[in-house]
Amino acid sequence: MTVFVALLRAVNVGGTGTLPMAELKALCEEIGFTDVKTYIQSGNVLFRSDETEASVQARLEEVLARKMGKSPGVILRSRRELETVAEGSPFPHAKPNYLLVTFLPEAAPKDVLDKLVAPGGEEVQAAGREIYIHYPDGSGRSKLKLPALKAGTARNLNTVRKLAEMAGEMAEGQGRVTSVS
């Protein structure tokens, strides 16, 4: 079974899209995902499924739309993909809490950075379905503008690393078999 990490957009951020993590966990279990775990109150859920990524995505969006009136948007990554993102920061000098990774539903176009406005010295690099942004003064006061970010959802590098660690632990637990003679 594949270990998936689902990152929900705009859930429990600034009072929009309120969804307690216990309810998110219950919804995932209701549609047949196993070993469901949530992490912090911002719409991060890990689980196992033997379905395809497309099927998992569709089922999760459908159950969320039923519960919330509309789907908040779901970005899925496998355990291996998340580990690659966690290890692949192009800004090794950045403090992890000042480095946001925006997860996109599809690969960023080659010209994604052409419309970038970064007046605060922010550093930005696109890599596949992710955009890494180092905010040297923090993201709260940043005036950075990049239209492509609207399609995704961001997590700081500390959160990405923790989710990758949790996904790895889930995958390791999957392979343990006790033999009985």
Residues 163-179 pLDDT 10s: 999 999 998 886 443 33
pTM summary value: 0.90
pLDDT on residue 72: 85
| pLDDT tops 50 at residue 181 | no
Q: pLDDT tens, 92-129?
A: 999 999 999 999 999 999 999 999 999 999 999 999 99
Domain residue ranges of the chain, discontinuous segments joined by + = 2-81, 84-164
pLDDT on residue 118: 95
Q: pLDDT tens, 24-76?
A: 999 999 999 999 999 988 889 999 999 999 999 999 999 999 988 888 889 99
149-173: average pLDDT: 94
| CB-CB contact of 28 with 60 (8 Å) | yes
Partnered with residue 38 across adjacent β-strands are 45
- Extended beta strands in the chain, E state: 2-8, 34-39, 44-49, 74-78, 99-103, 123-127, 130-134, 153-156
* CATH number of the structural domain 2-81: 3.30.70.1280
| pLDDT tops 90 at residue 180 | no
| CB-CB contact of 87 with 40 (8 Å) | no
Angle at 81 between CA 149 and CA 133, to 5 degrees: 30
Residue 2: other Cβ atoms inside 10 A: 17
pLDDT bracket for residue 16 (50, 70, 90): low
